Amino acid sequence: MLVILLAMCSSVLAAPPALADTPHGNFALHLDGRYDFHTWIWVLASCDGDCVFVQAIPQPVARAFPYAGDAWLADGRYTLAVDVPDGLRCGNVYYGTTIPTHDVYTWDATTRVGVLTSSFDAGCDGKPGTLTYPFSLSLM
């Protein structure tokens, strides 16, 4: 009996906490490789259904547009689709041209690791395209 109790306790103590236990709150968005001088805070709040409401706040707020939308959960992954007026930056990162993008963020509900797919009708060279960036979310 003591052996069973010890085995149960050690398995509970050794289990890592699931990240998805805190689906709401303030998160730092770590976006790798996107040409931008901003960092982003995502505020995740509950919404009706299998979703979280995402409010994206740029840091600093200069020359950036905040965006918001519902991220829907399916098969253990969240998906957020937003139109961003300044999603692609050309030339000088601070003062150059900005181009609108359609951004789709998908991330694993447990690990909070995902991919941003950013599409545009005419990029910096005038041609349409799609860029992808890995990202992660960490609770602040």
CATH number at residue 57: 2.40.128
Name the average pLDDT for the chain. 85
* Segment 19-51, tens digit of pLDDT: 455 589 999 999 998 887 888 999 999 999 899
| 12 part of a folded domain | no
| 118 part of a folded domain | yes
| 5 part of a folded domain | no
- Where residue 17 falls among pLDDT bands split at 50, 70, 90? very low
| 26 part of a folded domain | yes
Closest C-alpha to 26, from 52, 64, 51? 52
| 9 part of a folded domain | no
Q: pLDDT at position 21, please?
A: 52
| Total domains in the fold of the chain | 1
| 55 part of a folded domain | yes
Does this model's pTM top 0.95? My answer is: no
| 123 part of a folded domain | yes
* Segment 55-69, tens digit of pLDDT: 999 998 777 889 999
Q: Is 102 exposed, middle or buried (0-12, 13-18, 19+ CB in 10 A)?
A: middle
Most confident of 13-17, 97-101, 104-108: 104-108
Which residue has tokens 């979310």?
137
Q: Which domain holds residue 113?
A: 22-139
| 128 part of a folded domain | yes
